[in-house]
Structure 1
Amino acid sequence: MTKMTKMTNQVRPQQPTERATGRLSRTRILALVRKELNDFRRNRLIATTMAVMPLLFMIEPVITVFKLPANAPASRLDALVGVATLELMLIPALVPAVVASYAVVGEREQGTLEPVLTTPIRPSEFLLGKALAVFLPALGVAYTMYGVFLAAVGLFAHANVAHDIFEVPRIVAQLLFTPLLALWSIWAAIAVSTRAGDVRVAQQLSSLASLPPLAVTALVGFDVVKPTTTVAVVIGAALLLVDTVAWRLVSAFFHSERLVTGAKPA
């Protein structure tokens, strides 16, 4: 029986591993996310960026809305409300860009990149872990700031101003565009971070790269395109397509061997 058991074990086909089948490992991705979140808590620059920058971007829209008089003309009201919503969009656009720009170049400067890349983690898992670690807190901060803004408007702004801001298409657009802008910023920043040689340069270039999609969302904010739920969904679908293409491009051009050894893989 012992010999038969051994022979059976020898001929039994081995279960394909996640690496062999091409499937992503949730365990490795979540482990990297936890590592990144712990690093964020220890990094004062990132913690300050996450805490202070959103507050700065929220204070100006609140002041703008509170200064609007009750009898403000419709054109002026729409223009200032557009400015306020656009400034709130800077939170998901710039905050993830600044944080994600640290993803690769920051670890390379600290000497912690090589140990991570030489583990069994795949490049796609590495990128997804890095992106999720930035995306989740950035999305939470952006939605929290928008909720505080709506609460302040509902409690203290004039009725006609609050009515304009609480229009359903505006709220749908804000809720829909926020994660999509954050995703674009993250992929652009990671792409910059893999090529940059300095954290400050990566942050500056990533901030610039995060701004182009804001031009599309500004069309809705300033009523250049009439803000309707359908328009918001269509623009959101276009941004989702752009985010997907960005993710594919970053994955295709990410070479862990080049980052570790400095040489491009054959």
Structure 2
Amino acid sequence: MSINATRIGAVVRKELTEYRRNRFILSTMAVLPVLFLISPTATILSIKATASSSRLDTAVGFSLMFLLLIPLLIPSTIAANAVVGEREQGTLEPVLTTPISREELLIGKAVANLVPAAALAYLIFGVFLAIVSIGASPVIASAVWHAPQLIAELFYIPLLAAWAIWVGLAVSTKMSDTRVAQQLSTLASLPPLALIALMSFQVVKPTLTIALAFAGALLVIDCAAYRVVARLFDRERLITGTKPTARTQSSRRR
């Protein structure tokens, strides 16, 4: 089935408009990034220039890993609200009765989530580096800027955000309660952080090859996740709250 960019753009604009009207989403985007900036910044600024190299490596690894929670938690929370939230508000049925395909609807919702979430993550990452450059000693700042995880972080932000979005959308299509969907989405989006933690704390040596391999694997997983979520998205069940009958499925095939 062909994808219409105009219809996707309409969904993106609609979603961004809804974000501006939703206090929960606005507060999530405004408060969470700041909260996740405080701990890694305080950790780096508290280290003295005479600290051992092992302690410095651990602190830098923790700080950079902690910042990756932003592209995981913000989009997963918003995506968890994308379907079940609209169903609770009564705005989902009018959208589903339009000619837009499920693929176009899901891509539009994902793009509308990915762009601000990734932008916020990069912004906080840049603020963190600026504070470290200004407030930390030259030795500590140099260690952060030359950390092997630094370049990988730039690639991981959009890939982790995309993973969290597809997980959140998958949960949102199956849940009937927004809070439950948000909790499950947050928990389900965290597994990729395990391997990043291993690299951040030098358990797995964060070489360029390993970082690129993990980034490639995340990209493949993100593409596969999109297909899985598209299969889970069923218009009839979302409108009526019931699964499609065998006759309905048969007629769709014809």
Assess same fold via TM > 0.5: yes
Question: 2-side partners of 1:229 and 1:167: how far apart?
Answer: 13
1:28 aligns with 2:7: yes
CA drift at 1:161: 1.6
Q: Deviations over 1:94-150 (max 9, x none)?
A: 010111111000000000000001100000011101111100000000000000001
Aligned pair partner of 1:174 in 129, 153, 163: 153
1:71 aligns with 2:50: yes
Q: Which has the higher mean CA deviation after the structures are superposed, 61-70 or 170-179?
A: 170-179
Q: Deviations over 1:45-70 (max 9, x none)?
A: 00000111000001111000000011
Contact 1:172 1:232 in 2 (8 A): no
Contact 2:49 2:140 in 1 (8 A): yes
Aligned pair partner of 2:225 in 240, 243, 246: 246
Letter in 2 for 1:91: I
Question: 2-side partners of 1:155 and 1:226: how far apart?
Answer: 29
Question: 1-side partners of 2:216 and 2:141: how far apart?
Answer: 28
Q: How many residues align?
A: 245
* SS across alignment from 2:134: helix
1:264 aligns with 2:251: no
Q: Which has the higher mean CA deviation after the structures are superposed, 224-233 or 76-85?
A: 224-233
Q: Deviations over 1:6-32 (max 9, x none)?
A: xxxxxxxxxxxxxxxx11000000000
Pairwise mapping of residues 154-193 of structure 1 onto structure 2 (< 5 A)? 154-167=133-146, 169-193=148-172
Contact 2:44 2:136 in 1 (8 A): yes
Contact 2:61 2:149 in 1 (8 A): no
Question: 1-side partners of 2:231 and 2:173: how far apart?
Answer: 12
Aligned pair partner of 2:104 in 92, 116, 125: 125
Letter in 2 for 1:77: L
CA drift at 1:168: 6.0
Identity percentage of aligned residues: 53
Q: Deviations over 1:202-242 (max 9, x none)?
A: 11111101110101111221112222322211110011111
Question: 2-side partners of 1:219 and 1:183: how far apart?
Answer: 21
Letter in 2 for 1:200: R
Aligned pair partner of 1:81 in 60, 73, 84: 60
* SS across alignment from 1:248: helix
Contact 1:131 1:187 in 2 (8 A): yes
Pairwise mapping of residues 1-266 of structure 1 onto structure 2 (< 5 A)? 22-167=1-146, 169-265=148-244, 266=249
Contact 1:92 1:178 in 2 (8 A): yes
Contact 1:177 1:217 in 2 (8 A): no
Contact 1:187 1:246 in 2 (8 A): yes
Unaligned runs of 5+ in 2: 250-254
Question: 2-side partners of 1:220 and 1:156: how far apart?
Answer: 26
TM-score by length of 2: 0.94
Question: 1-side partners of 2:220 and 2:140: how far apart?
Answer: 34
Question: 2-side partners of 1:48 and 1:201: how far apart?
Answer: 19
TM-score by length of 1: 0.90
Q: Which has the higher mean CA deviation after the structures are superposed, 256-265 or 116-125?
A: 256-265
* SS across alignment from 1:64: helix
CA drift at 1:251: 1.0
Letter in 2 for 1:58: L
Contact 1:168 1:229 in 2 (8 A): no
Contact 1:176 1:232 in 2 (8 A): no
Question: 1-side partners of 2:212 and 2:82: how far apart?
Answer: 31
